[in-house]
Amino acid sequence: MSVVADPDLGEEPREPAGVVPVVVLDDVWRVFPTDPPVEALRAVHLRVDPGEYVAIIGPSGSGKSTLLNVLGLLDRPTGGTYQLDGIDTAALGDRARAAERGRRIGFVFQSFHLLSYRSVEENVMLSELYLGTSRRDRRCRAVEALERVGLGHRLGFSPIRLSGGERQRVAIARALLGEPSLLLCDEPTGNLDSANTAAVLDLFDDLRAQGLTILVITHDTEVAARAQRRVRMVDGQLAEVA
C-alpha cells in the first residue's frame, strides 16, 4: 500500500532524490473579486512530501478553508502555481481537474457528507464511481477499506444508525478508496466528542504509519499536536510552527 507518487506517471522528477513531492504551492494567491477585494491567500508557499502528516492551524477566517479548496482542486488560485504529484494543475481543464481530484485526493469533511439513503458499503463504493472501475472490484476494495477503519461489521447499515465517530470512519474509508496521494481533512473532529476524536486521531496515526500523506485543517490544538508538522495560517499567510 504505497502512496508514494506513482513512478509510471511520466513526469520528470523535479528533485535530485527522485522523490516527487505531493504538494508544491509556489507564491499562490487567491483573491475574491468583491468590493473591496478579499485576499484569502497571500503568497502562500507550501511543500508536502509523501508520507508527511501536516496540520494547518489558524483562527477562523484566516483562509484555511480556501487553502483546502485550492489543494483539493475545488478552487483555482488567482496567482502562483500549484503542483500535485508533479502535475501543474493550472494547465488542467475542468474535466481533467475532476478526474485528478477523484484519483489523487481523498476528502474527509467535518459534516461527513454521507448519503443517508445508501448503505455504508455503497457510500464507500461511491468513491471510485467516477473512475470507471468495475463494480465487483469496487465492492472488494470498499469492504477492505471498511475493515481497515474497523467497520467491517457495519457494511449493510444505513449511516443514520451509526454514531458520529463511526460515520467519520466511514467517510475516511471512502477517502481511502482509490489509493489517493493526499488525504485532505477539513476539521475532521469538529463534530465529534473527545472519545470519538481520539479514535479518529488514532486512525490517522495508523494511516500515517502505513505511509499515507495526510493534511488536516483544524483549530483544535489537540488535533494539531498529533501531527508531525504544524503550519499556522494568519490573514492568508502561512508560517511554519516550530
Partner 1 sequence: MGAARPRPRLRFADLLDETLAGVFARPARAALTTLGTVLGIASLVATLGISRTAGGQIVGRFDELAATQVTVSARTAGSGSSSRAAATLPWDVELRLDRLNGVVASGAVAEASNPGSLRTVPLIDPQNVTERLVPVFAGSVGLLDAVRGRIATGRWFDAGHVERRDRVAVIGADVADQFGIDRLDRQPGVFIGDEIFTVIGILDAAPRDTGLVQSVIVPFTAGQDRLGITRPDRVVVETVIGAARLVAEQAPVALNPNAAEGLKVTAPRDPARTKDAVQDDVNQLFLLLGLISLVVGAIGIANVTLVTVMERTGEIGLRRALGASRRHIALQFLAESTAMGLVGGIIGATVGIITIVGVAGSREWTPVLDLWLPLAAPFAGAVVGLVAGLYPSVRAARMEPVDALRAGT
Q: Applying CB under 8 A, which residues contact partner 1?
A: 6, 8-10, 69, 72, 74-75, 92, 94-96, 98-103, 105, 107, 109, 111, 113, 115, 117-118, 122, 126-127, 129-132, 135, 174
Q: Which of 79, 73, 88, 97 is nearest to 41 (CA)?
A: 79
**In this structure, what C-alpha cell is assigned to residue 210?**
502505513
The least distance separating partner 1 from the CB of residue 92, rounded to whole angstroms, comes to: 7
Whole-number Å distance between alpha carbons of 84 and 213: 12
HEC readout, 144-199: HHHHHCCCCCCCCCCHHHCCHHHHHHHHHHHHHCCCCCEEEEECCCCCCCHHHHHH
Q: Kind of pairing, strands 79-84 and 23-32?
A: antiparallel
Please answer whether residues 139 and 125 qualify as being in contact, where contact means their C-beta atoms are separated by less than 8 angstroms: yes
C-beta closer to partner 1: residue 21 or 102: 102
Whichever of 47 and 113 has its CB closer to partner 1, that residue is: 113
Least distance between partner 1 and beta carbon 240 (Å): 26
Q: In this complex, which beta carbon is closest to partner 1, that of residue 101 or of residue 230?
A: 101
* Under 8 Å between Cβ of 158 and 171: no
HSE-CB for 101 with a 13 A CA cutoff: 18
Q: How far apart are CA 42 and CA 28, in angstroms?
A: 7
60 versus 240: smaller Cβ distance to partner 1: 60
Shortest Cβ 90–partner 1 spacing (Å) = 14
> Closer to partner 1 at the Cβ: 143 or 198?
143
CB of 164 to partner 1, least distance (A): 13
CB of 133 to partner 1, least distance (A): 9
Tell me whether residue 81 or residue 119 sits nearer to partner 1 (CB atom). Answer: 119
Q: Considering the complex, what minimum distance in angstroms separates the CB of residue 241 from partner 1?
A: 27
Q: Provide the minimum distance between the beta carbon of 131 and partner 1 in the complex, in angstroms, as a whole number.
A: 7
CA–CA separation, 79 vs 45, rounded Å?
Answer: 12
Select 106 or 230, whichever has its Cβ closest to partner 1.
Answer: 106
- The set of cell numbers assigned to 14 is 523535479
